[in-house]
Structure 1
Amino acid sequence: MRDLLLPMFGNVFQKELIDEIEDKAVLKNLKAGTTLIDYGKYIKSIPLVLNGAIKIVREDEKGHELFLYYLNGGDTCAMSLTCCMNHKKSEIKAIAETEAQMVMIPLEYMDEWMKYASWRQFVFRSYNARFEEMLSALDAVAFMNLDERLLNYLLDVKTNTGTFEIFKTHQEIATDLGTSRVVISRLLKRLAEEDQIELHRNRIEIL
């Protein structure tokens, strides 16, 4: 596991902490579409993402989902950290957008590893980064037109998956953005007419 940890976390964690992670954590491989964390479940392990993209979404009282942010190599999920520390059920869902690899850290080591300065700094940076991303998501809902949100969403998917081709249905995009499939289809058609994207069967290509 060390050869997987060092490229992503070797400059983040001190050697003693890397040793502990190698000894205590479990390596996990996910296929695209796999749910890592689900609503209403207790989180017993914290993911440290080695590679791939993990999509984080949140559900409202009516069951509508809203896309919040992505986790990539070197990240962890601050909201899962919060649930673990407070022994709360998960209020988010984490889904593998692509094939992904991560190490899962058992809950009991969260507090114990606070003795390591590099772990404390990592946790605080993660909280700050995810908080800023959630603010951006809220700003988009509050202040952006849906066509702007859609284009930003497509660019965000491209950045986090590393490809200009997006294999998502119009319904999946509508669910992430909290709107209807009909509206998304109309806006995608407009983006295609503006030569910003090309529409294919079950595939969107960003130009």
Structure 2
Amino acid sequence: MAHTLLQEKFNKNLDNSLIKEIETIGKLVTYKKNDIIIDINQTLKHIPLLLSGNIKILREDQDGNELLIYFLEAGETCTMSLTCCMGTSKSKIRAVAEKDSTLIMIPVQNMQKWFHENASWRNFILESYQTRFDEMLEAIDNLAFIKMDERLIKYLINKTKLHSSKTIIVKHQDIAEDLHTSRVVISRLLKQLENQNKIKLSRNKIEVL
């Protein structure tokens, strides 16, 4: 399974010899929905390549409140974990499985070695940094300039793309935590969106129209 998924998700970015090496040294792991894959202050000895599923990357404030930074999709890696590995520091993020996910974990020393010796890996990492940087700028813009109702509908649309479905199974509290606000605010805004015929609400389900 690992070979098929690696070829399918990474052959556009990584050369065949590197994919074979990843198959040899990588550790295949699976996580269930809501499992913590990487936690804050964890010492990282491996970096993840996501083969299937989705992962959300979160930051935490001093009061323990979480803020969604970005999502990972199959064929991507977490550049914030790469940064920690390169600097031999502890993780500053929490990575949580958005749904059942399969990853292959790469030892840190291989990641560093390939960066200097393999052009396809180096380009993949640099492109990943650029993508995540753009997404974090967008997250900052959302917090600074976009009203909560606009953030909410954008969040819902992104969810439909991640899950390839117009119907999202999610609790109001989970949305509130991702958007760093209260459940009451989210419930009120969802009702407003439903009245505007932009969504349809049912128990723990939201259909984006």
Q: Normalising to structure 2: TM-score of the pair?
A: 0.96
8 Å CA contact 1:97, 1:161 repeated in 2:
no
CA distance in 1, matches of 2:146, 2:187: 18
Task: Say which SS state the counterpart of residue 76 (structure 2) adopts.
Answer: coil
Percent identical residues: 47
Match of 1:68 in 2: 69
Q: How does 1:175-186 map to 2 (within 5 A)?
A: 175-186=177-188
CA distance in 2, matches of 1:4, 1:178: 34
Per the TM alignment, residue 62 of structure 1 is displaced from its structure 2 partner at its CA by 2.2
Q: Secondary structure at the match of 2:174?
A: helix
> Following superposition of structure 1 onto structure 2, how do residues 113-132 of structure 1 map, counting pairs within 5 Å?
113-114=114-115, 115-132=117-134
Q: CA RMSD in A?
A: 1.0
SS in 1 for 2:68: strand
Residue 28 of structure 1 aligns to a residue in which SS?
A: strand
Partner-residue secondary structure (3-state), 2:181: coil
The 5 A counterparts of 1:105-184 are 105-114=106-115, 115-184=117-186
Question: Which 4+ residue blocks in structure 1 deviate beyond 4 angstroms?
Answer: none
Q: Does 1:13 align with 2:22?
A: no
Provide the TM-score with structure 1 as the length reference: 0.97
Aligned AA for 2:20?
D
Which amino acid in the other structure matches residue 187 of structure 2? S
Structure 1 unmatched runs, 5+: none
Letter in 2 for 1:134: M
Q: Deviations over 1:145-171 (max 9, x none)?
A: 000000001111111122222221111
Deviation track 1:18-66 (CA, whole Å, cap 9, x = no partner) reads 1210110011122111111111111111111112111111111222211
Deviations 1:155-203 (A, max 9, x none): 1111112222222111111111111111111000000111111111111
How many angstroms apart in 2 are the aligned matches of 1:28 and 1:119?
21
Distance 2:201 2:35 in 1: 26
Secondary structure of 2:51's aligned partner? strand
User: In structure 1, how many angstroms separate the alpha carbons of the residues matched to 2:204 and 2:106?
Assistant: 36
Q: Does 2:78 match 1:77?
A: yes
Superposition deviation, residue 205 in structure 1: 1.3
